[in-house]
Amino acid sequence: MAVNQALQKLHREVRDIPFIIPYFATGKATGESCTEKHRHLGVSLRSVGVSVQYASVGFRWHELENIGVRYPRSVLHLAETVPKSYHLICKAYHDHPLIVDATWDAPLAAAGFPVNDWDGVSDCALAVLPHDIIPHQTFAERERFTKRLRAAYSHDEVMVRARFYCALNEWLVDLRR
């Protein structure tokens, strides 16, 4: 198998894991967040000799509407209340630096989520509209970054995020039916 085909296959395998915010999943919902999906992707890419770093991409959930996501009104209302969040992507180094994003699984395209079908040689489209991009040399560095962020959340901010993540997860499960 050609290297680019191997990279495409690894990307598809991770992309096709259902996206979900696991800590707020209810019922039989299973899947992984962008953080876990890209941790897995980084390990997989390294296993075929591709150097990987990570980057946190600051974004606002409600702004996904600007890239085509069609939220139900109730989910959009909650999304508008969520402060800036950070999305994780991989930065792969294969011949040249590449942005690799495997966040949204294929069934979510029906609601306008930008599902990537990576060719192994070009940058992927980002899953979110970036406010800022913070590079991380390692996944452990990213974990320290998110731990500091979460430690600074107020109780109200935690509750706002929890309400939104629960509603988002329920909607995403419905989209996959």
Confidence check: pLDDT of 60 > 90? yes
Instruction: Band the pLDDT of 113: cuts 50, 70, 90.
Output: very high
Residue 151: in which H helix or E strand, if any?
A: helix 139-151
16: nearest Cα among 48, 51, 49, 40 = 40
Q: Tell me if 37 sits within 8 A of 25, measured CB to CB.
A: no
pLDDT tens for 4-38 read 899 999 999 999 999 999 876 666 667 899 999 99
DSSP 8-state class, residue 32:
B
pLDDT band at 3 (very low <50, low <70, confident <90, very high): confident
Q: For 3-171, which CATH class?
A: alpha beta
Mean pLDDT of the chain: 95
List, in sequence order, every residue forming a beta bridge with 107; answer none if it has no partner. none
Q: Residues 115-140: pLDDT tens digits?
A: 999 999 999 999 999 999 999 999 99
Rounded CA gap, 157 and 171, in Å? 21
Residue 45 and residue 129: Cα distance in Å, rounded? 25
pTM value is 0.94
Q: How far is CA 49 from the centre of its chain?
A: 23
The label of the residue with tokens 């430690």 reads 151
Q: Which residues pair with 56 in a beta bridge?
A: 88, 134
Task: Provide the pLDDT for residue 27.
Answer: 62
Please tell me the number of Cα atoms within 13 Å of 10 on its side-chain side. Answer: 25
Residue-range domain boundaries for the chain? 3-171
Mean pLDDT to the nearest integer, 81-109: 97
Nearest to residue 44, comparing CAs of 24, 14, 17?
Answer: 14
Residue 141 half-sphere exposure, CB side, CA atoms within 13 Å?
Answer: 9
